[in-house]
């Protein structure tokens, strides 16, 4: 090896610091052994991150793990010289031990700006009061902690961002904390307890993301709040209807949100909004709202009314997502149909993208879709996803009698997932004019019959050179429609061979299995399974084959595969794509189970606790025991007889 000049040691100090700060703490500390020049270089690290990568534990014994972790943090804090900018403690083996108190006290004497503490195991950790004297703090993130600031504390003067998950705090202290952080811009709250009324008084708040169980939410002075995502995780009963004076929750909620831009109404929060009097329109419309996502029970009149009110008050909407709660819609009740009456007074002049998911094809839902189609002149794409496969045809037929006046200036692409054929219907017209949609609906039917009889593998194009100009076609020339529909093969092994299924799976996984967002790897015995989850309807594909066929219809193995999704109630919201190799079918099935569970963690970290409870995150480390010399098998001794 030729001897090269040592140039990295002579780099300017701040560049070395920069390179060091990109390394994990462990790698940075290891540079001390390079040469005497490097011995103390890591002491200038601005960010101290103690997580699973930076401290690797090999032992199984809880006490020795704890002692080791405590020693490492103690030692690093003692040797470190430069001011600490960011302190993160998130190791899976740390519990809420008293040593953390000491570290926080040490940090509070410095000028730490970001503090992140995540306790993965054990009880909530009670934060020491010294934390509340970190006046320079900008970002605070806590997981599984008991937050109890002493009443005399003045709050964090420069704190801009709070992220609290799985925390316990009492009502007064929560309110005091929020209102005393005057600079607060971002607030995230997930799975909290100890307080049930969210009184948010934060003049600089811009981002608000909350999910949990609460009774009421009140905003005060939140005039800059732009991004809101709220999920109420419990189904409030009807009789809980509080006797509110004149204003319902909807008016109250929006009165302090004049500059809202993105809103996500998750879980059961629409139920909360629908309590009390719902007006036809909000007193002051949300002029800046451009993204809206609502989870709704389409069979509930109150919820429909609240959604309608919201839609009518959002004239500048660009993107809309409507997610049905299928679990509540199984028993359709008679609902007052409100979507028909309101056709003409609510134009969405900027609405471009619409997604509707989880619907059953009942009257009300179809009317809602038609309501959107009728009022969205610049719609570019609408995606409709039925709750289950057999409902798809009903949905497609329901859209048939679309209102006659359907004004378009661009082209519309309407994607329907029908009985696991993906039917893309794109319509473009050359003239900027209104057209008769009736011809399209008949086309729709003909296409459907085509699909149900036989599946064509290549896209087919149908063109309609002319349609009869009717009353409202102002133009002399008749518009020309070009309708293209492409079908992707269905995953039923009965009438399709594997190549089609392979094509279908590949079309769902652009860029291959490694390029997907929600993935996990599971192992069991000699089997390895790579798993990808995509939003869908609960289909499972293993090595380009249907799961039932691949696992030879064995109910136990199929049960293994389905279990993680069932445990979280996702059995019909994700499609699972697996590449499995090694081992036998039983091992592969269990490997897939682990893979799915790990992939679900990528969906949300909050799944960890339920999955852990079910034991789905544990790698089953049992394997065949080796054969021993002098024995027949691992433990079986050769037969012997006394005489």
Residues lying near other proteins in the complex (CB under 8 A) are found at 1, 3-9, 11-12, 15, 18-20, 22-24, 26-27, 29-39, 55-56, 58, 68, 71-72, 75
The rounded radius of gyration (Å) of the Cα atoms in the chain is 30
3-class SS letters over 597-619: HHHHHHHCHHHHHHHHHCCCCCC
Give 23 or 518: the residue with its C-beta nearer to other proteins: 23
Cβ 4 to other proteins shortest distance, Å: 4
Beta pairing partners, 88 = 49, 116
Phi (first) and psi of residue 344, to 5 degrees = -105, 0
Considering all CA atoms of the chain, what is the largest pairwise distance in Å, rounded to the nearest integer? 112
Cβ 43 to other proteins shortest distance, Å: 12
In whole angstroms, what is the distance from residue 145 CA to residue 432 CA? 59
Torsion of CA 342, 343, 349, 351, to 10 degrees: 90
Give 32 or 229: the residue with its C-beta nearer to other proteins: 32
In whole angstroms, what is the distance from residue 474 CA to residue 435 CA? 9
Give 32 or 606: the residue with its C-beta nearer to other proteins: 32
Q: Tell me the two tokens of residue 416.
A: 């329907």
Cβ 17 to other proteins shortest distance, Å: 9
Cβ 514 to other proteins shortest distance, Å: 17
Q: What does each C-alpha distance from 567 to 14, 610, 638 come to in angstroms? A: 50, 8, 46
Give 23 or 153: the residue with its C-beta nearer to other proteins: 23
Give 9 or 154: the residue with its C-beta nearer to other proteins: 9
Spell out a b/e string for 475-510, using b for 16 or more CB atoms within 10 Å of the CB, else e: eeeebebebebbbbbbbeeeebeeebbeebbeebbe
Burial tier of 139 (Cβ tally within 10 Å: 0-12, 13-18, 19+): middle
Spell out a b/e string for 244-278, using b for 16 or more CB atoms within 10 Å of the CB, else e: eeeebbbbbbbebbeebbbbbbbbbbbbbbbbbeb
Cβ 511 to other proteins shortest distance, Å: 13
Cβ 98 to other proteins shortest distance, Å: 21
User: What sign for the dihedral angle of Cα 442, 448, 451, 456?
Assistant: positive
Give 65 or 616: the residue with its C-beta nearer to other proteins: 65
Give 35 or 240: the residue with its C-beta nearer to other proteins: 35
Spacing of C-alpha 537 from chain mean position: 16
Give 18 or 121: the residue with its C-beta nearer to other proteins: 18
Beta pairing partners, 468 = none
Give 38 or 233: the residue with its C-beta nearer to other proteins: 38
Helices assigned H by DSSP within 492-546: 498-508
Residues shown for the chain: 643
Cβ 436 to other proteins shortest distance, Å: 40
**3-state DSSP percent of the chain in helix, strand and coil, to 5:** 30, 25, 45
**Residue 340: which H helix or E strand, with range?**
none
Q: What is the 8-class DSSP label of residue 226?
A: -
Cβ 516 to other proteins shortest distance, Å: 16
Give 56 or 330: the residue with its C-beta nearer to other proteins: 56
Cβ 8 to other proteins shortest distance, Å: 4
Give 63 or 152: the residue with its C-beta nearer to other proteins: 63
Q: Tell me the two tokens of residue 319.
A: 């993107």
Cβ 512 to other proteins shortest distance, Å: 17
In whole angstroms, what is the distance from residue 30 CA to residue 37 CA? 13
Give 15 or 234: the residue with its C-beta nearer to other proteins: 15
Cβ 255 to other proteins shortest distance, Å: 37
Cβ 82 to other proteins shortest distance, Å: 17
3-class SS letters over 70-134: HHHHHHHHHHCCCCCCEEEEECCCCCCCCHHHHHHHHHHHCCCCEEEEECCCCCCEECCHHHHHC
């Amino acid at each position: 090896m030729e001897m090269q000049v040592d140039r990295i040691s002579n780099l300017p100090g701040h560049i070395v610091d920069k390179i060091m700060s990109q390394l994990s703490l462990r790698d940075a500390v290891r540079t001390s052994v390079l040469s005497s020049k490097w011995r103390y270089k890591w002491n200038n690290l601005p960010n101290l991150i103690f997580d699973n990568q930076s401290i690797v534990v090999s032992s199984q014994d809880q006490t020795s793990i704890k002692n080791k972790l405590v020693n490492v943090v103690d030692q690093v804090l003692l040797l470190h010289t430069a001011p600490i900018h960011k302190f993160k403690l998130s190791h899976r083996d740390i519990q809420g031990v008293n040593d953390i108190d000491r570290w926080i006290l040490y940090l509070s004497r410095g000028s730490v700006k970001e503090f992140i503490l995540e306790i993965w195991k054990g009880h909530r950790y009670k934060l020491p009061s010294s934390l509340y004297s970190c006046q320079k703090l900008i970002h605070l993130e806590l997981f599984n902690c008991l937050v109890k600031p002493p009443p005399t504390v003045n709050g964090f003067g420069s704190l801009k961002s709070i992220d609290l998950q799985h925390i316990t705090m009492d009502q007064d202290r929560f309110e005091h904390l929020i209102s005393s952080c005057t600079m607060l811009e971002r607030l995230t709250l997930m799975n909290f307890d100890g307080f049930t009324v969210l009184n948010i008084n934060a003049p600089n708040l811009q981002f608000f993301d909350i999910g949990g169980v609460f009774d009421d939410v009140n905003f005060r002075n939140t005039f800059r709040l732009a991004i809101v995502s709220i999920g109420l995780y419990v189904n409030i009963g009807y009789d809980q209807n509080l006797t509110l004076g004149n204003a319902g929750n909807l008016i109250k909620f929006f009165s302090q949100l004049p500059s809202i831009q993105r809103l996500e109404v998750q879980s059961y929060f629409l139920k909360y909004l629908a309590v009390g009097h719902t007006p036809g329109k909000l007193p002051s419309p949300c002029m800046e709202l451009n993204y809206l996502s609502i989870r709704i029970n389409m069979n509930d009149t109150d919820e429909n009314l609240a959604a309608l009110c919201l839609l009518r008050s959002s004239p500048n909407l660009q993107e809309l997502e409507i997610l049905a709660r299928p679990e509540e819609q199984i028993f359709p009740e008679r609902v007052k149909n409100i979507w028909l009456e309101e056709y003409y007074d609510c134009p969405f002049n900027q609405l471009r993208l619409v997604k509707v998911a989880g619907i059953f094809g009942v009257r009300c839902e179809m009317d809602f879709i038609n309501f959107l189609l009728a009022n969205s002149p610049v719609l570019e794409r609408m995606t409709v996803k039925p709750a289950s496969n057999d409902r798809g045809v009903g949905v497609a037929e329901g859209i048939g009698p679309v209102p006659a006046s359907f004004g378009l200036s661009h082209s519309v692409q309407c994607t329907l997932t029908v009985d696991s054929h993906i039917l893309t219907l794109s319509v473009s017209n050359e003239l900027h004019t209104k057209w008769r949609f009736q011809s399209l609906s008949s086309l729709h039917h003909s296409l459907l019959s085509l699909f149900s009889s036989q599946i064509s593998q290549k896209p087919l194009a149908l063109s309609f050179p002319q349609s009869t100009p009717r009353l409202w076609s102002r133009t002399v020339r008749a518009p020309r429609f070009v309708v293209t529909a492409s079908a992707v093969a269905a995953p039923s092994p009965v009438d399709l061979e594997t190549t089609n299924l392979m094509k279908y799976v590949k079309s769902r996984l652009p860029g291959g299995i490694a390029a997907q967002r929600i993935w996990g790897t599971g192992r069991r015995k000699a089997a390895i399974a790579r798993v990808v989850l995509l939003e869908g309807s609960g289909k499972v594909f293993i090595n380009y084959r249907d799961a039932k066929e691949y696992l030879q219809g064995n109910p136990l193995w199929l049960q293994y595969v389905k279990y993680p999704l069932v445990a979280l109630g996702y059995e019909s919201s994700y499609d699972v794509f697996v590449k499995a190799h090694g081992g036998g079918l039983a091992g592969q099935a269990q490997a897939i189970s682990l893979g799915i569970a790990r992939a679900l963690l990528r969906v949300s970290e909050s799944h960890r606790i339920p999955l852990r409870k079910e034991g789905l995150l544990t790698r089953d480390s049992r394997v065949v025991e080796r054969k021993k010399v002098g024995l027949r098998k691992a433990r079986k001794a050769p037969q012997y007889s006394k005489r």
